[in-house]
Structure formats: structure tokens, C-alpha cells
Amino acid sequence: MPNTFCFRILIFIFLSCLPLVSFSETISLEKITVEPAFFLDSYQDSEYLNPQDFVIYSPEDIMGFSSDVDLIQRAPFGVQQDISIRASSFEDVSINIDGLEVNDPQTGHYSLEIPLTSADIEKAQISANSQAVNFQVKKPRDKGFLLKASFGQHALWENLLSLQFPLGVFNTRFSLEHKISSGSRQDTDFEIYNISFHSLLEDEAKKIEFLFGSTKKDFGADSFYSAAYPQEAEHITQQLLWLKAGPRTQRYNWENTLYYRRHTDKYVLDRHQESFYTNYHTTYVYGIKTQFNLINGNFAEALLEEEKITSTNLGSHNRLREGFFFGFKEKRIKDLVFDFTAGLDYYKKWNALEKIHLSAGYIFKNNFKLLLSLDRFHRVPSFTELYYSSPANIGDPQLKSQRTDNIELGLEYSLSWAKARAAVFKRWQKDTIDWVKNYSSSPWEARNAGNISVEGVDFSGNFLEINKFIKRAGVSYTYLNLKEKNPYNFSKYVFDYNRHKIVAGLGFEAGSFLIDTDINSNFPRARKNYTTVDIRIQRQLGRFNVSLEGLNIFNASYEEAQDIEGSGRWYKINLAYAF
């Protein structure tokens, strides 16, 4: 095991200085903000999606409108969903809220549970080459009000209240959301509560921010995890809170974050016979993160985090993560713009795991840019992959960490109203973690199933305000090819991916109505091809907004995951009042 003395000393220096931070120095925010050199969001491997542009029923749904992403929904409205980026496993994707990673250590099935309301999310950033998603939270304003009510098929009722107000010197937002439905098929009923409280003070000398988010979900889980048990159910809660604070001076800004995440899960194999098989799990993730940013774009970051689980099936376990990273942002040498990050995560069980990211864009004539992204990162096994034990699934405490190397090369053409992009990419993955078996009657076992490689291409075109009728139009296509070298006869996750995916959207005006249509065509490797079409028709009446939304309006029959029926046609009507 390598000596980590110097590694820990660096973290200690950062964390021990936090009480000494002073807010006495002042400087205009304009002086410490590094302006993007040239379309910052597009020279990196990032795609930005605005929830207002798509027909979505929960903030998580927006992921499905990227052709790089396979959003595997076991049920709509944010009930339960996994995310795959360019044929990755759902465990491999880093889920972040305002830059804070919120992956669940028990299982990635819970990582995409965002404990915020639909009124809290500004946009979603997808960094495909880094296999990462970042949900950007709206900054609270000093005044605002939103009240929304919806009803629809399958006894659906939704209510949302969001208030923005000053609380002393802090701008504050409080949001409360409730969703309930009988479900589109038997044993897919759900009831969800989301609540959030967000308070922010940001001025010339300092930033202080507090966020609390909570979600409670009770739902039927027909075949969600096992087709042999169509009467599964889950009862889930999650709380997330953070406190961020730091000074700003002429030379640097310093942001320090204390955070805490708690997740509980009661899993029932047969909701009509709870005593037959029921598991209880509680996970905790808490830590401190500090980032020191110099005015020239250089930065250093340190992290101390503990993950814990108490479970009737997995037992009680904990692990400590120690991280240190450095790099620079938005550097420019003539027409070359680039970012760089390098560092290590250290776990006692898996030693030091390196993480490296480089993204660069070279600008040449006629608004063309040549794009390059390089990434190396690791992921450690979840507690489920390590310790789960049941007649159908067996974990492996000796699993190694999984290493991924990604490269992407692209070309982009940008105008003020349009952007077109093409890219080729490849991934090499070592010690891939998957659930596998050799005989259909055998239980699934977590294993390091060997090395894989994935290659593919991306094409996309997006247009804004084409004329006074068409407000947006876009199409994207991704092709994937995973080189199959599976030493096992059956794979549960790794080899189930979309070989082709096409996403198209159009937003236009028809008289006094705004109409949005979204088309999602999927061509899975091992499942039936399918296309879904969603629509939203809305009209603004003063401060009121009235809309009709339809999900899968042609009632396509499909599976987003093996043996799990996709959602059929679903309509709802919304009435919102805002100022």
C-alpha cells in the first residue's frame, strides 16, 4: 500500500486554514470573474439542456434529450431512472448538483434521484467524454412566486409552490412539490414529495450559500429489478444539505463546502407479503470540500468524505475518500483555449486512483473550432456490488476499481443562431464491473468482467429563432459500437446499450399558442427498436400559463430495460401562475 503521508498533509493544510478565512477584503465581482474565451460551453465536451425547451415531467427527464444519453426509466415523473452515457453502465456516470457529486454509494439506481423540485433547476450540463452530469441550480431572487397545478390520466395530480423572498440579507427560495398517480399499469402507482430551501448571499467580498433538499417516494415497482416478482415496492427518502462560504479578493476566491446526504430505502419483494422478503438500507455521505481559485484561472481543491451504510442485507460498512486536485480553467494561447485538471482519490481498499481531464479548442477562420477532450478516471464498486447477497444476486468483496480512458475529437461550426457539431470518440475500460453469469439458472454475480472498448460518432445541429414562427429546432445522432469480449455467457448491464439514437425537437408559434414537439428514436442492441413522440401546447394569459402535455402520444410499446415495460400514452393539463 503506497504511503499517503504527503497526500494527507496537503488536505490538512487546506482544511485547517478554514477558520482563519476573513471576509474583510473587497473587490468588484467583475474583476474576479474569468470571462469565457470563446463559447466556453462548446469548446469543452459539454452539452447544455434547458428544461423549458422540452416536454419533461421531472428534472431528471431532460437527460433523455441528448443522443449521447440513454435514460432508462422504470417509471416516469422521476420515480426511478438510470442513466447511461455512450454505452456506459449507470454506475459509471458521475451525478453532480452545482459541482457537488451526489452519487449514491449503495447503488447507482439511486444516484439520479435529485432531491429538488422542478422550480429549482436552471439547466443540465452533460459532459459526455467525462461521463458526468451537472444539474445547475437556479439562484434565488429577492422576489418571486410560482403556483402550478396539474392533473391527467391514471389519476395523476401534481402541485407545485415556489416562493422567493429576502430573508435578512439573503435571497431565499422555498419550494414544495407533490405528485401522485395510480400508475400506467398495475403496481406502478406512486406518491412523491419534494421540498427545498435555498438561501444565498453573494456580494463583492464574499459568498455564503445554504441549500436543503428532500425527497420522499413511495411506489410500486413492477418488475423493476426482477421480472419474476411483478409486485415489488419501494419506500425511499433522501435529504441533501450543504453550506458554502468563502472570501473574494483581488488575487483569489476561496469556496469551502460542508455537505451531508442521507438516503433510506425500504425494498419489498412482494408488497402483498412484506414479511416474505424486505430489506432496509440507510446510506450516509458527508464531507468537506475546499477549492482555492486564483484570478489567472489556476486552482487547487481538497476533499475529505466518508461513505457509510447500514443494511439488513449488506451489513454495516464505511469507507473514507481523500482527494486532492489541481489545474487551470479557460487558459488561452492565441487561438488555443484549454482546461486541465489532474489529481488523486485515495481509498484504503483501492489505494490512490488518478483522475485527469484535458479539453481544448482551436479556433480558426469562419467560426470553425477543432475540439479535443481526454479523460482518465476510476470508479470504485458500490456497496451492493461488494456485499449484496440473495438467491438471485451475489456481490464480491474482492472487486477491483474500474479504470476508464476516453478520447474525443470533434469539429464545430457556430453562429449566433446556429451550431453544428461532429465528433468521433473511443473508450477503453479496464476491470469492467458487471453482473454476469454463465448459466441462465444461476444467480447474477458481481465481477470484474475484463476489458472492453467502445467507439462511436456524434452529429448534431441546433438552431434558434429561425424566423418569427420557429423558435428552436434541433437534431442529434449518436452511433455506438461496443467491442464484445465478454468472458461470460450473460451480462446484466454492460452489453445492453443503444447502438443508434436520434433525438429531434421543434418549438414554434401557431397564432397565440407555443407548441413543442420532441421525437426520441432508440435502436438498442438487444431489444426492440422504438420511437416516442412528446408534445406540449401552451398559451400565456397575462401571468397565467395554460398547457396540455402528452407523453408518448402514439402509444408506442417498448422496453427501456430488459423485461421492463415502458410508459404508454399519458396526457396532463397544467395551470401555472407566476410573477
Question: 77: alpha, beta or left, given left = phi > 0 and alpha = psi -120 to 50?
Answer: left
Going by C-beta distance under 8 Å and a sequence separation of 6 or more, which residues neighbour residue 504?
A: 474, 475, 476, 518, 519
Specify the CATH number for the domain of residue 45. Answer: 2.40.170.20
C-alpha cell at position 223: 418488475
Of 149-163, 166-180, 325-339, 375-389, least confident by mean pLDDT is 325-339
Convert the pLDDT of each residue in 490-549 to its tens digit: 888 888 899 999 999 999 998 899 999 999 999 998 889 999 999 999 999 999 999 999
C-alpha cell at position 260: 451531508
Which pTM value belongs to this model?
A: 0.89
Residue 227: pLDDT over 90: no
Please choose, from the candidates 299, 281, 282, 283, the residue with its C-alpha nearest in 3D space to the C-alpha of residue 291: 299
Report the domain count for the chain: 1
pLDDT for the residue numbered 152: 94
pLDDT for the residue numbered 397: 96
Q: Whole domain around residue 418: which residue ranges? A: 5-578
Residue 474 and residue 498: Cα distance in Å, rounded? 20
Please choose, from the candidates 62, 225, 261, 244, the residue with its C-alpha nearest in 3D space to the C-alpha of residue 170: 244
pLDDT for the residue numbered 45: 62
User: What share of the chain has pLDDT > 70, as a percent?
Assistant: 92
Q: How much is the CA Rg of the chain, to the nearest whole Å?
A: 24
Residue 185 and residue 568: Cα distance in Å, rounded? 9
